[in-house]
Amino acid sequence: MTFRRLLPWSVAVVVGAAVASCGLFKTRSPVQPSPPAEGCHPLTSGYLAAVLNVEDFYGRLSGQTCYASTIDAAFAFHPDPQDSSQALPDTPYIAWDDSIETRVNTNIASVERFISIGFTREYASPLISPDQTTQVRFYEYLLRLHVQGQVDTLRFTGLSDLTIHRGTDGQWRLTQWVDHRGSVSDSTWGLLRRTYRF
């Protein structure tokens, strides 16, 4: 066999070996993150405690979360307008308050094998009220969810505008979440919420 005929075969063998060694044909095997090592962050320690409790609200035994205590009684969720219009003629996001938010997150916790949440960076400068009791924080987020009995890990990304308010009890809680689509084609956290509103 001449060199010219041997070269394509050699390249094919090398490429095949490289692909196999990268595991591209293996079923995705999601790695479960370690559960939070600490307890819930005390809400009297500042606005950041509320943000950290959102990141840590899953991954605990029996679906116990820090998130429920972080939701204010005046909480409201507002989806990305495109997510809302895609749901029509249904209107699953109407009157989304603290009780719906808590129920939806309980529903997700009941089916998840694990969930990993990260606010990856602030995409805009915060807005802080003159009396320093209310802050609006603008975060990019990445959420990975592995549902029990499923092979693949689901990925959700987007932008969240979080309004965090310090009440008369000195505790910082989430009063509003406005969800936006990001620059990639992943589903948003709002779409995940809609799926588990039942």
pTM of the model: 0.80
Whats the size of the chain, residue-wise? 198
The whole-angstrom separation of Cα 68 and Cα 78 is 18
CB 116 within 8 A of CB 143: yes
Helix (H) or strand (E) holding 27: none
Round to whole Å and give the CA distance between 130 and 152.
46
Give average pLDDT by consecutive 10-residue segment, the chain, 198 residues. Answer: 51 45 42 63 94 74 69 97 94 96 89 88 97 97 92 94 97 98 90 94
For residue 153, the model assigns a pLDDT of: 92
- DSSP class per residue in 110-170: HHEEEEEEEEEEEEEEEEE-TTSSEEEEEEEEEEEEEETT-SSPEEEEEEEEEEEEE-TTS
Give the domain 47-195 fold. Answer: Nuclear Transport Factor 2; Chain: A, (3.10.450)
Which pairing describes strands 71-78 and 172-180: parallel, antiparallel, or unpaired? parallel
Contact 187, 156 (CB under 8 A): yes
Closest CA to 43 of 52, 35, 30, 34: 52
**3-class SS of residue 69:** helix
Neighbouring-strand partners of residue 45: none
pLDDT of residue 62: 46
**For residue 17, how far is the Cα from the chain centroid?**
36
Under DSSP, the state recorded for 198 is -
